Amino acid sequence: MNNYLETKHLHIQKLISEHYGFLIQNIEPAQRGFVGETFIINSVEGKSFFAKIVANTNTTNILPALFEIHQIGFEYAIYPIKTLKGKFFIPYNDRFLIVFNFIEEKSAENVSAKDYARLVIQLHGLKGKLTTPLEAESFSATYQDSFWDIWEKIKALRIQSKEFQTMKTELSDSEERIKRYWDFYHATAKTCQGLSLEFVPTHGDIPINVLRDKQGRHHLVDWDGFKMAPRERDLWNSAEKSTVIEEYLKEFPDFQINQAVCRYYTLFRYFDDLWGFLDAILKTNEGSDIAGYSDQIIETCFRELDARISKFIR
């Protein structure tokens, strides 16, 4: 570890010890996501905690609700640990440091359809039990002001990575199709704004953010998008006659999936992922990261999600 990282870890260790009262043995870097830096905190008592440093208030705003669902018996989520003064985070430079419980992951293989359905059923079943206010879905098409700016910056980049060049070529070849998606996305958002829909607590990114612990239990992580929204927000990627929907209807037999809402969330995921990966490429100088993000754009957006979207946009 270089001197900068060692100093940084010591600073974080000191802050957590002061505000949480933990006797810390060491701090280990964890896998970094798009939202912020992550660490594993190991205490001298043998307990571990998960820490995240974030820059935006979207994450800090959902912490009270995330804490409450744990308190009322939802056992399948990572939850924030309060400081000695009862706070959910502590200031860290111009960002926020949050400590969560730690889930010792056994594996991260794809969750089965029945386990996926069980998690969604349990979460949606919290409607009427959760008292902490949550942001409500507005169906506002995101990245209105920044998506095409980032697009032009990517086109102007001169990176010789094979993966980047392959992605850039496919991006250019797909421009007209993506513009059709963009227009349909905005039109669908307006359609959904005019619908009368039931809102429930939703995660928004369940298929990816599931950990399986050593006891075989599944837990939801990365709750940055926790909000009140239509049930389709957690079900859009399941076919109408899939095992997930069949299991879900056993618990909520009156539910009828709305295809317009599913189309909105499919397109939201497309542009959210595409914007996120392109933005990440602009912000990194690491060749391996650029190659990885480029591959993700091709695999996730131009293969997996394109296949779904092509069913309703010709």
Find out whether 153 and 283 touch, Cβ atoms under 8 Å. no
Say yes or no: 92 and 118 in one domain.
Answer: no
| Tens digits of pLDDT across the chain (314 residues) | 556 566 777 888 999 999 999 999 998 888 755 556 889 999 999 999 999 999 888 889 999 999 999 999 998 899 999 999 999 999 998 999 999 999 887 555 578 889 899 999 999 999 999 999 999 999 987 776 789 999 999 999 988 889 999 999 999 999 999 999 999 999 999 999 999 999 999 999 887 788 888 888 888 988 989 999 999 999 998 876 699 999 999 999 999 999 999 999 999 999 999 999 999 999 887 778 899 999 999 999 999 999 999 999 97
Structure tokens at 20: 């949480």
4-24: per-residue pLDDT in tens?
566 777 888 999 999 999 999
Distance CA 5, CA 171 (A): 36
**Sign of the torsion formed by the C-alpha atoms of 143, 148, 154 and 156:** negative
- Measured CA to CA in angstroms, residue 138 lies from 142, 191, 195, 271 at distances of 10, 12, 11, 16
Q: How many domains does the chain have?
A: 2
Say whether both 75 and 137 belong to one domain: no
pTM here is 0.90
pLDDT for res 142 = 72
Least Cα distance to 146 among 35, 274, 309 occurs for 274
Do 148 and 290 lie in a common domain? yes
Return the pLDDT at 302: 94
Domain C-terminal end among 102, 123, 152: 102
Q: 211 and 175 share a domain?
A: yes
CATH code (residue 45):
3.30.200.20
Read off the pLDDT of residues 51-89 as tens digits, 9 standing for 90 and up.
999 988 888 999 999 999 999 999 889 999 999 999 999
Instruction: Find the domain containing 96 and state its range.
Output: 3-102
Report which secondary-structure segment, H or E, holds 211.
Answer: strand 210-213
Location of structure tokens 């995660």:
203
Among 48, 68, 102, where does a domain finish? 102
The answer to whether residues 83 and 75 touch, using CB atoms and an 8 Å cutoff, is no
Is 42 part of any domain? yes
Q: Based on the fold, state whether residues 9 and 155 are members of the same structural domain.
A: no
Same domain, 52 and 97: yes
Same domain, yes or no: 96 and 118: no
End residue of a domain, out of 102, 137, 159: 102
Supply angle C-alpha 186, 232, 293, rounded to 5.
Answer: 65
Q: Are residues 26 and 161 in the same domain?
A: no
